Amino acid sequence: MNTPPLTTERLILRRFEGGDLPALLLILGDREANRFLPWFPAASLQEAEDFYRSRYLPEYEKAQAYAYAICLREDNIPIGYINVDTKAPHDLGYGLRSEFWHRGIATEAARAVIRQAAADGLPYITATHDINNPRSGRVMQACGMQYRYTYEERWQPKDITVFFRMYQLNLGAGRDFVYRGYWDAHPNHLVENPAPDCRPAGQQN
**Residue 1 in this model has a pLDDT that exceeds 80:** no
Q: What does pLDDT average to over the chain?
A: 94
**Residue 139 in this model has a pLDDT that exceeds 70:** yes
Report the chain's C-alpha Rg in angstroms: 16
**Residue 97 in this model has a pLDDT that exceeds 60:** yes
Residue 174, pLDDT score: 83
Range of 141-145, 174-178, 199-203 with top mean pLDDT: 141-145
Class of domain 6-198: alpha beta
Q: Which residues contact 40 (CB under 8 A, 6 or more apart)?
A: 34, 157, 158
**DSSP character at residue 37:** S
14-55 tens-digit pLDDT = 999 999 999 999 999 999 999 998 889 999 999 999 999 999
Where is 113: in which H helix or E strand?
helix 105-119
* Stronger pLDDT, 140 or 4, i.e. the higher one: 140
Compute the Cα dihedral for 106, 124, 196, 182 and give only its sign.
Answer: negative
68-86 tens-digit pLDDT = 999 999 999 999 999 999 9
**Residue 95 in this model has a pLDDT that exceeds 80:** yes
| Domains of the chain by residue range | 6-198
**How much of the chain is in helix, strand and coil states, percent to nearest 5?**
30, 25, 40
pTM, 2 dp: 0.93
